[in-house]
Amino acid sequence: MSMKKIYGLIGRNIDYSFSAKYFSEKFKNEKIIDCEYKNFDLARIEDFNNLEISKINGLNVTIPYKEKIIPYLDKIDKSASEIGAVNTIAKKNNKLIGYNTDYLGFTNSFKNNLNFNNALILGTGGASKAIQYALNIKKINFDIASRQKNIKYKSYKKINESLNEYDLIINTTPIGTYPNISEKPKLNYSLLSEKHFCYDLIYNPKKSSFLIECEKKGAKTINGLEMLQSQAEESWKIWNSMS
């Protein structure tokens, strides 16, 4: 009897994880009987060294390790290098190679209709970097809002003076995710209208407080589920191209 191929997710506090459920259902529905998907919950990134990597065929990476994982890899591909974050790890000749499929998932979720003039990205983490990369490819201007004091980022106070200048607003922060579902980014929601398209990378709850507020003002909204499904399929393609 052949050994099962093991895939999995590394992150912290990932019991809720989308990936394990998605891949387990995929394997069942597509009758892929030689594969298994597991959660590898790491209290700290150093615990990556304790994984039996020789027995693992591929990994996804989630918060808070998309940037911290990079020093543990043998190589990262061009897009992951430019983004500065990795969400997929594949093995080739026993070398660990990092990729980023988040930006593809984001782009794919628009069904080729990513046509905006000015975007606003809330947050500066690994997911934000993937969105920045996707918008750069599509030549869409964007600003980044952050609570950090940094010349590269705009303060929420500054953003709230000019919110109507943007037609796409993307929340890449974890604000509003389960269980803190009543929280939302500190925006002046009264400035939003039907000309806005608001995107929240959060998928649990399906409709975050951020999206609920945006919808009240007539904005079009989308959550992060399609992006997650698409980036998962892109990860699967990468793993299979290695085997």
Q: With beta carbons less than 8 A apart as the criterion, state whether 114 and 138 touch.
A: yes
Q: Which residue has the tokens 């191209």?
A: 241
* pLDDT band, very low/low/confident/very high, at 1 (cuts 50, 70, 90): very low
What per-residue confidence (pLDDT) applies to 150? 81
In 3D space, the residue among 67, 44, 197 whose CA is nearest the CA of residue 129 turns out to be 67
Buried b (16+ CB within 10 A) or exposed e, 174-192: bbbbeeeeeebbebebebb
Residues 198-228 pLDDT 10s: 999 999 899 999 999 999 999 999 999 999 9
CA distance 209 to 213: 6
Task: Considering only CA atoms, give the Rg of the chain.
Answer: 18
Does the model's pTM come out above 0.85? Answer: yes
For the annotated catalytic residues, the residue numbers are 66
**Interacting residues of 22 by C-beta distance below 8 A, sequence separation 6+:** 228, 229, 232
User: How many C-beta atoms lie closer than 10 Å to residue 31's C-beta?
Assistant: 6
Give all domains of the chain, ordered by start, each with its CATH number: 5-100+227-242 (3.40.50.10860), 110-223 (3.40.50.720)
Residues 2-43 pLDDT 10s: 589 999 999 998 887 889 999 999 999 999 999 999 999 999
Work out the mean pLDDT of the chain and round it to a whole number.
94
Give me the mean pLDDT over the 64-87 stretch.
96
CA distance 153 to 130: 16
